[in-house]
Amino acid sequence: MASSPAVRKALRSLVFLLVIIVGLAGLISYGVFRSNATWTPKLALDLQGGTQILLAAEQTGGDAVDGDQLQQAVSIIRQRVDAAGVSEAEITTQGSRNISVSIPGKADEATLQRIEASANLAFRPVLTYDVSASAEEADGGDADGAEANSAEDTKADAEEKTDAEEADTANAKQDDAEKSDEANKDDSADTSALDPEELPEGAGDLEWITPALQEKFTAFTCDSEDALAAGEAPTDRPLITCDDSGTIKYILGPVELDGSVITDATAQVATTSTGATTGEWVVQIVMNKEGTEKFGKISTRLYGQAEPQNQFAFVLDGRVLSAPTMQAQILDGRPSISGQFTQESAAALADQLKFGALPIDFTVQSQEDISATLGTSQLAAGLLAGLIGLLLVVIYSAFQYRALGSLTIASLAIAGVLTYLLLTFFSWRQGYRLSLAGVAGIIVAVGFTADSFIVYFERIRDALRDGFSIESAVEHGWKRAFRTVLASDGVNFLAALILFILAVGNVKGFAFTLGLTTLVDVIVVALFTHPLMTLLARTRFYRTGHKFSGLDPNGLGAVYRGRLQFSDPVVTGAGGSKKNARSRAEAARRQTIAERKAAAADASTGKES
């Protein structure tokens, strides 16, 4: 086989496809042995079963929720569940105040906390902090070690961190008016030292810390009843609370911003000013116009202050999510939180900040395991339907294209392997779960994929009929076919994308697999079907136009032999005259205008064409 440019290009394409397949298999293998990956895609609720949580919703103030608020709660809970990497969850309302959340498989603790947490997200300045008396043996979490930088400063200062253990311990701290009787009594003592007419003006003013508040803070522990009631504190008074780990306790000033100013929050790897990655995970926040303006003033005030007065806290439901140090004046509304984050902890914090502005509390009414609604028998039935469809495609290919049909079968097999690996990879990294609707999307895509091969093969046949050699016909047919394949798959992918964006639940699963297999179709046709066809065209079996190759020029009625050159094939035996007549008709049909004029001129002078 001659090593022509076309052959070398075909070999490179096949090697590249092999690298993709081996790379995916390698990543999944790594995940199986080093993480929580599996060798098979995870199944959705309808095929596997899972966990059902029934929540009762009420407004933060204790009032009943209306229909619009309940729908808002469903929407935000769905965002939280999706952000946790759980796919194909079912979230619906039950009655006028309940929400049912059904999650495939066994829900982990982080997902349950995301669902059940009320969303009272607020920004409070840190007045002081200390290690909780109930956790003096523990390290002081990453909240105090985090930093807030502008988007640009994060690149330059990603490696500069403040050590939480170097902070001073107990300073004077203050508390908020609690809702319990004991807390109300403490509030009276706290405010008696401050004239109501002379309350501190700034939220970060240390004058908020009265002797009574300091005494209460000293005795405060993170496992006390007061700590559990911290979410009920008023926004215009200081708050004594703890971080999520229960190891650090804080006195925080009054609320300066609420969570509604955050429009987006994402976890990403920090980079330096030169664009190199530091390997450390940060949380990038984007604020709206109001938040940008107010946070700019807050950052200007806190930047350069002594610790801990240069810290501010993100507080969700009375608990400190993070308390970063202000490392710059952030005037663009894009603060970045850095600290001792892992990828998982950064993603969890980003989700809590992004989806935390929900003014509704939830009470868990029940939590139970549920069985699969369809189960493995329905999955087997769906797979059987897919195999029947695949078998019909194979039979048609063998009948229509003879030996060339084997290339269709091989291409479908490669597409199946690639789709399986991608679904398994997304199950591991993105929490994707395969539902029966997703299986249907894969089955539908078998027809789309086979259609791409048919378009390609027919373009090759057309080129052979036009008198091209097999090698030239493959390249000529590919140029014409690939445009058609891209147009067809582009329409399919656009439809799947729109459906994925607008739909929820099982329909979203159908759209995902349909879009994924559409992309796989393009990859397989470009990196496997055409390159392999290029190599096969150099073999003697196809090059000589064997009658069982499916690309026999004579069998296809090829009559054109170049401009103004036709030959009439002579077919002997039964039906020969019919075939000759069809060939002559084909030759006449393929004449250009110039050729017809030349034939007419020859006829007028008595010449034979």
In Å, how far from its chain's centre is CA 42? 16
Amino acid (1-letter code) at residue 510: F
Instruction: Decide if 511 contacts 496 (C-beta within 8 A).
Output: yes
Report phi then psi at 479, rounded to 5. -60, -40
The better pLDDT of the pair 62, 173 is held by 62
Percentage of the residues of the chain whose pLDDT score is greater than 70 = 72
- Give pLDDT, residue 90: 80
Q: What is the mean pLDDT of the chain?
A: 76
Paired residues of 125 in beta bridges: 312
Determine the average pLDDT of the residues in 253-275. 84
Q: How far is it, in rounded angstroms, from Cα 336 to Cα 269? A: 11
CATH number of 50-116+357-370: 3.30.70.3400
Of residues 353 and 585, more confidence is placed in 353
Q: How far apart are CA 405 and CA 397, in angstroms?
A: 5
Averaged pLDDT, 441-463: 86
| Pairwise pLDDT comparison (562 vs 196), residue with the higher score | 196
pLDDT category at 478 given cuts 50, 70, 90 is very high
Q: Tell me, what's the pLDDT at 423?
A: 93
Mean pLDDT score, 285-302: 90
Is the per-residue pLDDT at 422 higher than 60?
A: yes
Whole-model pTM: value is 0.57
Mean pLDDT of 285-313: 89
Q: What are the beta bridge partners of residue 59?
A: 360
Is pLDDT at 188 greater than 50 in this prediction? no
Q: Are strands 50-59 and 360-370 parallel, antiparallel or unpaired?
A: antiparallel
* Residue 196: pLDDT over 70: no
Average pLDDT over residues 109-120: 67
Tell me which of 589 and 428 has the higher pLDDT. Answer: 428
Which residues share a beta bridge with 560? 566
Look at 461 and 369; give whichever has higher pLDDT. Answer: 461
User: What pLDDT is stored for residue 570 in this prediction?
Assistant: 44
pLDDT of residue 192: 46
Instruction: Return the pLDDT at 96.
Output: 75
The structure tokens listed for 455 are: 């378009």
| Token duo for residue 331 | 């005037």
CA 544 to chain centre: 49
> Among 212-221, 349-358, 542-551, which stretch is predicted with the lowest mean pLDDT?
349-358
Q: Tokens 């892992």 correspond to what residue?
A: 342
What per-residue confidence (pLDDT) applies to 552?
Answer: 76
Give me the residue label for tokens 């008074």. 237
In the structure, what pLDDT confidence band is assigned to residue 182 with cuts at 50, 70 and 90?
A: very low
- The one-letter code for the residue type at 388 is I
Residue 87's pLDDT is 62
User: Residue 189: its pLDDT value, please?
Assistant: 42
Q: What is the pLDDT of residue 515?
A: 93
CA gap 221, 224 in Å, rounded: 6
How far is residue 354's CA from residue 82's CA, in Å, rounded to a whole number?
12
**Which residue has 């029934």 as its token pair?**
54
Give the residue, 55 or 562, on which the prediction is more confident. 55
Least confident of 150-164, 279-293, 364-378, 532-546: 150-164
pLDDT of 418 strictly over 90: yes
C-alpha triplet 522, 523, 524: angle, nearest 5°? 95
Please give the CATH architecture assigned to the domain spanning 5-37+374-543: Up-down Bundle (1.20)
More reliable by pLDDT, 69 or 549: 549
Least confident of 293-302, 331-340, 589-598: 589-598
Burial label for 449, CB within 10 Å (0-12, 13-18, 19+), is buried
22-26, 208-212, 524-528: least confidently modelled range: 208-212
Spans of all domains in the chain? 5-37+374-543, 50-116+357-370, 120-339
Lowest mean pLDDT among 162-166, 308-312, 358-362, 364-368: 162-166
Q: Is the pLDDT of residue 114 over 70?
A: no
Mean pLDDT across 40-45: 82
